[in-house]
Amino acid sequence: MIKVKDKKNIKEAVDINKVVKDLQGNFGGSNEEQMAGVQLLKGLATSDEKIANDFMKKLDTVITKISKEVLGGKKEEVSESIILKNDIRIGDQILEKGDRIIITKKNKKQEAINLNVFQKHQFSIAKKTLKMSDVGASIMGGMTKDEAEKFLYSIGYTQNQIDRLKENKKQEAVPVERNTKVVDKVIEYLYARHYSDTRTAKQAKAWLQKKLGRKFNSLLMKFGNPDAGNFDVVFNKWNIYMGTLREKKESMTGSSTHLEKLLKDLFRSFGLKVKWTVDSIEIEMPSENWYWDEFSQSGKLEEFNSIVRQFNVDYDIVDDTIIVFI
């Protein structure tokens, strides 16, 4: 690989005319090195000169030839090259921060055809991870969003393709809103703010921020701002919400017992205890990454998601505890 820091030296040493002549023959080096070299040289040409336009045409011809060799003859073309922001590992090879690698535009039907079994598994996880919310990605545990992005880079995804995956992520509901303790505390907070009880409001806000983190602000936005002169409207929304919550809770009394049994059976093989609370079922998970990886790769995560979908309930993860809201 040709490091970015070498680009200045290349620029000072290269005679464009000579390079064009050399490109008509063998450029030298491995296919990957040729491709990296061509991309760097391509950046040296300026489009406002005739010689540069001729040079670009020559380079395009070489790029097509080399890309077919690199990609096994597939009808794929070079889209762009990128500068790595972090070290990444691809198989046994370690690419360092600052390396420039070639990114190809792939036919979607061909995108995973050249991957081995492990890479196909990683490919599937990477795409799912980027489409998930932060909460979903954290509980999945098999790959962080940064790792998913690096992996997709390594197999030929462009930044635009990765951005589209991020934009298409599913908008998940905020599950913590079903916790009645949280509901009561939010009403306490809103009430205290409305009547300028600064101390109570501050205490309630601190409790909510510790419990909900960044979800606290989105929860307030959903039900309105009492400082905007709509205090009664805000309270009516909360009262309707709490009434709906109580009705659902009462209707789920029998099914919740069944849900608890299924979750206990699921987590028993991991040696974990399922704890029943007033309005949730909680499972404390060890914080070690390998434990979450094992949970995901064993198929238990998929089984867990199937169960919560079956009962139409939400879940969240707070301080390494999975909380299923009932």
Q: What is the pLDDT confidence band of residue 55, given thresholds at 50, 70 and 90?
A: low
Q: What angle do CA 279, 319, 219 make, to 5 degrees?
A: 60
pLDDT digits (tens, 9 = 90+) for 216-246: 666 566 655 555 455 556 656 655 555 554 5
Q: What angle do CA 104, 105, 108 make, to 5 degrees?
A: 125
Q: What is the pLDDT confidence band of residue 198, given thresholds at 50, 70 and 90?
A: confident
Q: What is the pLDDT confidence band of residue 119, given thresholds at 50, 70 and 90?
A: low
Residue 257 shares a structural domain with residue 247: no
Residue 23 shares a structural domain with residue 93: yes
Residue 97 shares a structural domain with residue 17: yes
Residue in the block written with tokens 């039900």 = 223
Residue 90 shares a structural domain with residue 116: no
Q: Of the spans 243-247, 253-257, 295-299, which averages the highest pLDDT?
A: 295-299
Domain of 13, in residue numbers: 4-101
What's the DSSP call for residue 5? G
Residue 105: predicted pLDDT: 45
Residue 8 shares a structural domain with residue 97: yes
Q: What is the pLDDT confidence band of residue 13, given thresholds at 50, 70 and 90?
A: very low
Residue 166: predicted pLDDT: 77
Which of residues 101, 128, 157 is at a domain's end?
A: 101
Q: How far apart (Å, rounded) are the C-alpha atoms in residues 6 and 2?
A: 7
pLDDT for residue 100 is more than 70: no
Which of residues 228, 251, 274 is at a domain's end?
A: 251
Residue 212: predicted pLDDT: 66
pLDDT for residue 323 is more than 80: no
Mean pLDDT of 271-299: 69
By the 10 Å C-beta count (0-12 exposed, 13-18 middle, 19+ buried), 167 is classed as exposed
pLDDT for residue 190 is more than 50: yes
Neighbours of 23 (CB within 10 A): 19
Residues near 311 by beta carbon (within 8 Å), at least 6 away in sequence: 252, 255, 259
Mean pLDDT of 179-208: 69
Residue 318: predicted pLDDT: 67
Residue type, 52: A
For 316, phi then psi, to 5°, come to -145, 170
Mean pLDDT of 91-112: 52
Mean pLDDT of 118-126: 68
Residue 224: predicted pLDDT: 55
Range with the poorest average pLDDT among 2-16, 99-113, 308-322: 2-16
Q: How far apart (Å, rounded) are the C-alpha atoms in residues 52 and 46?
A: 6
Residue 284 shares a structural domain with residue 197: no
Structure tokens that stand for 92 in this block: 């046994």
Residue 40 shares a structural domain with residue 96: yes
Which of residues 137, 167, 197 is at a domain's end?
A: 167
Residue 96 shares a structural domain with residue 53: yes
Looking at the structure of the chain, the number of domains it has is 4
